[in-house]
Chain A
Amino acid sequence: EDQVTQSPEALRLQEGESSSLNCSYTVSGLRGLFWYRQDPGKGPEFLFTLYSAGEEKEKERLKATLTKKESFLHITAPKPEDSATYLCAVQAGYSGGGADGLTFGKGTHLIIQP
């Protein structure tokens, strides 16, 4: 059974204090690992897709990295507007197409205090 575990469940940082969120996974043949951001009362918004170990992607203050067992979302010098819940999801290799083989983690609730 595919599993995705995100840690910590919640994280409170001061503005400018860099940190990392973790996503550990077990999946039958990874096709892709996704990061989404979810604001309160909104649907998840796509951030990154990573496909293979060693891959890195960046967007503003966020950088996502991938190994064979986990992914990290590094947040550099965060601002209050980075406060959100960050979701990780893995796409299994057995899925016939589409997101039917997608498993989501429970998310990390990030709060950036001014």
Chain B
Amino acid sequence: NAGVTQTPKFRILKIGQSMTLQCAQDMNHNYMYWYRQDPGMGLKLIYYSVGAGITDKGEVPNGYNVSRSTTEDFPLRLELAAPSQTSVYFCASDPVGGNSPLHFGNGTRLTVT
């Protein structure tokens, strides 16, 4: 049981480039989330999904896009990367929403220069 798997672990992008951060979970969880974590700041929600085909914006969605075509996968797309998107990105899932604990992946560290 792998849990939540994120790829790649590290990536350096040039300003204006695009990329997709991959996230997959094998726990059959309906709810999935993307967070970013900046030094000295709390985790901020970028986008979330309550099931395949359904996505919604979180607190900091600008510059990102998501899709959810299957229960297992929830990729995060960065278009026209900017230095402000330098961060560590975490994907998380939970089975039922509400007060169920989040299961996090180990993150993707992204640097935009």
A24 to B13 Cα, complex, angstroms = 38
How many residues of A are counted as interface, with CB atoms below 8 angstroms from the partner's CB atoms?
26
Question: Cβ of A31: which chain B residues have Cβ within 8 Å of it?
Answer: 98-99
With A31-B99, A34-B101 in contact, is A100–B58 under 8 Å at CB?
yes
Tell whether A81 is near chain B: CB-to-CB under 8 Å: no
A-B contact count (CB 8 A): 68
Tell whether A11 is near chain B: CB-to-CB under 8 Å: no
Q: Are B98 and A97 in contact (CB under 8 A)?
A: yes
Q: Are B42 and A44 in contact (CB under 8 A)?
A: no
Tell whether A78 is near chain B: CB-to-CB under 8 Å: no
Tell whether A43 is near chain B: CB-to-CB under 8 Å: yes
B99 is contacted by which of A42, A49, A87 (Cβ under 8 Å)?
A: A49
Question: Cβ of B101: which chain A residues have Cβ within 8 Å of it?
Answer: 34, 46, 49
Q: Are A42 and B107 in contact (CB under 8 A)?
A: yes
Chain B residues 28-70 with CB under 8 Å of chain A are 31, 33, 40-45, 48, 50, 56, 58
B102 is contacted by which of A42, A46, A103 (Cβ under 8 Å)?
A: A46
A contact residues vs B (CB 8 Å cutoff):
4, 31-32, 34, 36, 41-46, 49, 51, 87, 89, 91, 97-100, 102-107
Q: List 25 A-B contacts (CB under 8 A).
A: A4-B42, A31-B98, A32-B99, A34-B102, A36-B102, A41-B106, A43-B92, A43-B104, A43-B107, A44-B104, A46-B103, A49-B99, A51-B99, A91-B99, A97-B31, A97-B97, A98-B33, A98-B50, A98-B98, A99-B94, A99-B102, A100-B45, A100-B56, A104-B44, A106-B41
